[in-house]
Structure 1
Amino acid sequence: MAKVTKVQVKVEAFVAEPTQASLESEVSPASAPRMSWSAHILSKTSKLSRSTQFIIAATLILSLTMVFVGQLVSERIQRAALQSAAEAGAYYMEAFLEPYVQEMSLSNELSEKSVKALDQLMQSRSLKHHIVSIKIWRADGTIIYSTDKSITLHKFPIDEIAEALKGTVVTDLGNLDKEENEFERERHVPLYEIYAPLREFGSGRVIAVGEFYVMAEGLVQEISRARQQVWQVVSAANLAMLTLLFFFVRRGDKIIHHQQVTLRARLLEQDRLHAKNAALQRKICNATEEFSHINELTIRRTGAELHDGPAQLLTLILIRLDDLGEDDSRVDQETLEAIRSAASDALREVRDLSLGMALPELNDLSLTQELHLVVQRHEQRTGTRVALHLDKLPLVAPLPLKLCIYRFVQETLNNAYRHAAGQGQSIRASYLNGVLLISVKDSGPGMASNAMVVEAEGRARLGLVGLRYRVESLGGLFTIEPSLVMGTTVKAQFKL
């Protein structure tokens, strides 16, 4: 005989109702303040340490898990206890009730004799100590026997006996809110009801349903003790887990905090070194600019001294020699001519040298005017032509940069005249995205890639090396693009 237990517990309804209420509250207009409150809580917890945040989150999650597991295990224990009690009670009561209902297979009624026998059975001490009341249901929902005589031959809905009519045992704990349970409710004691199918001897056909209410005090106490044990075990396990996790996370939090402090100290040290390096770089740039300015002043003063000193003396020598030359009797004319020629050559060389070392006044000139000036002077001195291509250049530039550009263009044009006979001389200047680019090009025979460093005789090209040093001292970039086929291009790039 297959027997399946169907348990309906009030706890499930208790859990379902708050859940539904919570869902309704989520869609209610009052959810907006709750969101702001949760945001406030999040802002507060974000200021806590990682280990504290983890423990709070873990406690919430594990607590919810503990409640779920404890509730699930408690329900399973209650279901199992009711199952066991229902199975035992059903076997017990079937043995008592089935002999009295056999006559229902023919008349579908209980005889007066059977009713009296059942009433005497209910007066038994052993049975009365456990059983509060008995009901026998007909298949159409009519109660044909009951301890409470007021509901005998009354018809009720067959929902609660439907499963029992199919041959299964149905049990429920404390569900006494139906109309036919008034007698049981007046006892004010915990009861659980069992619906057991009553079968016909021989055929096994269900001819009635026996319902009986059993004292549940012992069962309730047993279920309560089991629940307490379950909650104690689950709580102890969660507490142990939280403790272990706290120590592990706390240790990791200390390591992370120590690494953060170390990293912050290293970043501060790096920032300090970066600021120190920047200050040193500014000092170097200032010193380089000062050196360049002093160097230009020194060269200018040297040129002036050469012009005012030796050149004047040589001029005086030539004048005196001219005076001596007028007296043919006193000095040999050939000797005088040789002295005059040597003095003239010396004077020309000193003047050329002083003109090369002297710079025009550049303070009031823009870069465009400065480039026009250096090209004009080169063309006048050499008698060659220079193509000048200028984009829009900055109107204001520092004096050291002007001096550097002037010397760069002057030296490269001199090299173009010396080594390329002034063929294809051109200057191109552009300014884009804060970068000033000056390039000087010629179309001469070209030069080898290592010609800047060593000549055939092994002597360094001091002019080009000096230009490199001059450009790089101002933070610029000096490049040469030599070619063995035709022409050479020299470039200077500055970031303004």
Structure 2
Amino acid sequence: MAKDAKVESKNQTFGGDPTETLVESAPAIEAGNARHWFSRIKVQTRNLSRSTQFVIAAALILGLTMFFVGKLVSARIERAAVQSAAEAGAHYMEAFLEPYVQEMSRDNALAPSSIKSLDGLMGSRSLKRHIVSIKIWRADGTVVYSTDKSITNRKFPMDEIAEALKGKVVTDLEDLSQEENEFERTLNVPLYEIYAPLREFHSGKIIAVGEFYEKAESLEQEINRVRQQVWMVVGAATLAMLILLFFLVWRGDKIIQRQQVALRLRLLEQTRLHVSNAALQRKMTTATQEFSRINELTLRRIGADLHDGPAQLLTLILIRLDDLAENCASVDQESMETIRGAATDALREVRDLSRGLALPEINDLTLLEELQLVAKRHEQRTGTKVELKLGSLPDAATLPLKLCLYRFVQETLNNAYRHARGKGQVVSGNHLNGKLLVTVKDDGPGMAPDALVVDTHGRTRLGLAGLRYRVESLGGQFSIDSSPGKGTSVNAQFKL
């Protein structure tokens, strides 16, 4: 009750503070300062090494953890030491006090002779070295005996003796704030109070509670010594763990730093190689396009040379044969016709070769017009039908791509005519999602997978190899889908 009264008085004192604005503004100022310091600490922490950051974080977390562990262990040790001393003191005092309280089981009070004997007991010099005050409580909270005679026969709250009435030994160190401890407070020495149940001899019934106050200097010294040992052990263990963790993290940090340096060097080397490869790729693409252009010029030159050379000579031979047949009657007409037929066939083949090698002017043609032109020329030369399935195609394309597509369709249609007799010839083209796909199909006998590389005579298929080289040299993808009896499909795909 005394404690509650003090708490209420404090609340009333501080509850009537009229400076509400200061109370409200101070937290806002403190919060702003806290945010400012937190931001500064955060910026400075980022500049520290990982091992230092870890040590700071580990020191905070481990330090707080070990602090609470140390506090808990110290509190447990202190409580155990006080309780052990209290129980020992309680047994000691029970032997002195219980003989004088046996009459309380009948009269509920102490006889004057018992009080006189207790006063004499408290006058003992050996007892005074340890015990400074004694109280005997009745079960209703009345003090029937006390070294301080001013509180005898007075009734006080029963909070502290309630547990002792249940048979427990209750102790408390340096808690002398109750009203009934006024005498003990005037002694100005550290004390701890002990409440012990006092029992009737023959029945063991609790008939009173004995309270005595023992000097706590030696106990406090022992508790402080043990507390220091506990904190030394906790501090040493914490420091050892921090040093060990710091060493492990520092070593790991050094390994990470070396790996980062090595990785950075590898990345720089990879970047350099990538740039070099990109430059070589550009040079190779340029060289491939230039080679394609030169190759077409060479083919045109060969075609022109065939047209202007062997074709003209064969034409002259045919003219001279006609003159010879008219002027010489004795010439064998059968042999003449044989010579004339051979010369005519040779002239036709040379002209076909010349037309095949010399491409038409396709610079100004779109891809759609180019594919239509190559299909039309194939139809005129072979007398077969070519079906066109052309979707959306880009209007603009580079000359190397146009040359490649023209040769691709021309060669695949020639193969379809040669191997499938021109059956089911289809040229399809489409441009979707930045990819151009051109396909030539036929309904011929098809080919086995191994026949795509080597023919029945063991010779490499130069036409297919040339087509693959043409397509892949421009960054395209070349593929053939064929199986015996199911025709052949040749595909060329370019990323525009």
- 2:478 aligned partner: 478
Quote the residue 1:155 is aligned against.
155
* Residue equivalent to 2:168: 168
Q: Give the counterpart letter for 1:229 in structure 2.
A: Q
Counterparts of residues 58-457 of structure 1 (less than 5 Å):
58-312=58-312, 315=315, 344-457=344-457
Amino acid at match of 2:402: K
Q: Which residue of 2 aligns with 1:7?
A: none
Listed as ranges, the gaps of 5+ residues in structure 1 are 1-27
Distance 1:145 1:372, change over 3 A: same
Query: 1:109 aligns to what SS in structure 2?
Result: coil
Contact 1:130 1:215 (8 Å CA) reproduced: yes
Q: CA deviation at 1:293?
A: 0.9
Letter in 2 for 1:111: A
Alignment of 1:452-471 (within 5 A): 452-471=452-471
| 1:360 maps to amino acid | P
Which range moves more in the overlay, 282-291 or 431-440?
431-440
* Secondary structure of 1:480 counterpart: strand
Q: Give the C-alpha shift of residue 35 in structure 1.
A: 7.9
Structure-2-length-normalised TM-score? 0.84
Point out the more displaced range, 187-196 or 162-171. 162-171
Bigger mean CA deviation after superposition, 240-249 or 338-347: 338-347
Instruction: Provide the rounded CA distance (Å) in 2 between the counterparts of 1:422 and 1:168.
Output: 115
Work out the CA distance in 1 between the residues paired with 2:264 and 2:177: 70
Are the equivalent residues in 2 in contact too, given 1:165–1:206 (CA < 8 A)? yes
Question: How much does 1:198 deviate?
Answer: 2.4
Q: 1:177 to 1:350 in 2, by over 3 A?
A: same
Change (3 A) 1:180 1:487: closer
**Contact map agreement 1:374 1:410 (CA 8 A) in 2:** yes
Measured against aligned partners, the alpha-carbon deviations of 1:281-310 in whole angstroms (never above 9, x if no partner) come to 222222111101110011112222333444
- Describe the SS at the equivalent of 2:160: helix
Alpha carbons of 1:33 and 1:297: their partners in 2 closer, same or farther (altered >3 Å)?
farther
**How has the CA–CA distance of structure 1 residues 173 and 277 changed in structure 2, closer, same or farther, with 3 Å as cutoff?**
same
Per-residue Cα deviation, 1:51-74 (whole angstroms, up to 9, x for no partner): 223322332233223222322222
Of 276-285 and 402-411, more deviation after overlay is shown by 276-285
SS in 1 for 2:161: helix
**How far has the Cα of 1:386 moved from its partner?**
1.1
2:49 paired residue number: 49
Q: 1:299 to 1:159 in 2, by over 3 A?
A: same
Q: Identify the range of structure 1 (345-354 vs 189-198) with the bigger mean alpha-carbon deviation.
A: 345-354
Deviations 1:239-283 (A, max 9, x none): 222222222332222223222322332233233323322332222
- 3-state SS in 2 of match to 1:222: helix
Q: Distance in 1 between matches of 2:206 and 2:483?
A: 116
User: Cα distance, 1:194 vs. partner?
Assistant: 1.3
CA RMSD after TM alignment? 3.3
Cα pair 1:193 1:213 within 8 Å, conserved: yes
Task: Give 1:119's aligned amino acid.
Answer: D
Aligned residues: 470
Give the superposition deviation at 1:448: 4.8
Out of 380-389 and 322-331, give the one that drifted further: 322-331
Q: CA deviation at 1:37?
A: 6.5
Q: Kindly, what percent of the aligned residue pairs are identical?
A: 71
Structure 2 residues not aligned, in runs of 5+: 1-27
Question: Following the alignment from structure 2 to structure 1, what is the Cα–Cα distance between the partners of residues 152 and 400?
Answer: 122
Range with bigger deviation, 141-150 or 431-440: 431-440
Amino acid at match of 2:357: M
Matched to 1:357, the amino acid is L
Structure 2 SS opposite 1:160: coil
Structure 1 counterpart SS, 2:172: strand
Shift of 1:192: 0.8
Structure 1 distance, partners of 2:107, 2:458, is 140
Q: TM-score, normalised by structure 1?
A: 0.84
Moved more, 388-397 or 311-320: 311-320
Counterpart residue identity of residue 196, structure 2: A
CA deviations over 1:125-162 (Å, ceiling 9, x no partner): 22233222221211111112222222121111122112
**Amino acid paired to 1:100:** Y
What per-residue deviation string (whole Å, max 9, x for no partner) do you get for residues 332-382 of structure 1?
Answer: 999988887666555434332221211111111111110110111112222
> CA-to-partner distance for each residue in 1:94-138, whole Å, 9 max, x for gaps?
333333323322222223333333333333322233222221211
Deviation of the 1:415 alpha carbon: 2.5
Counterpart residue number, 1:13: none
Q: Distance in 2 between matches of 1:452 and 1:94?
A: 113
Cα distance in 2 for residues equivalent to 1:455 and 1:168 = 109
Cα–Cα, structure 1 residues 103 and 262, in superposed 2: closer, same or farther, change >3 Å?
Answer: same
Matches of 1:352 and 1:422, distance apart in 2: 18
Tell me if structure 2 keeps the 8 A contact 1:368–1:390: yes
**Structure 2: distance between partners of 1:148 and 1:449:** 118
The answer to whether the 8 A contact 1:452-1:465 is kept is no
Instruction: State the distance in 1 between where 2:486 and 2:94 align.
Output: 122
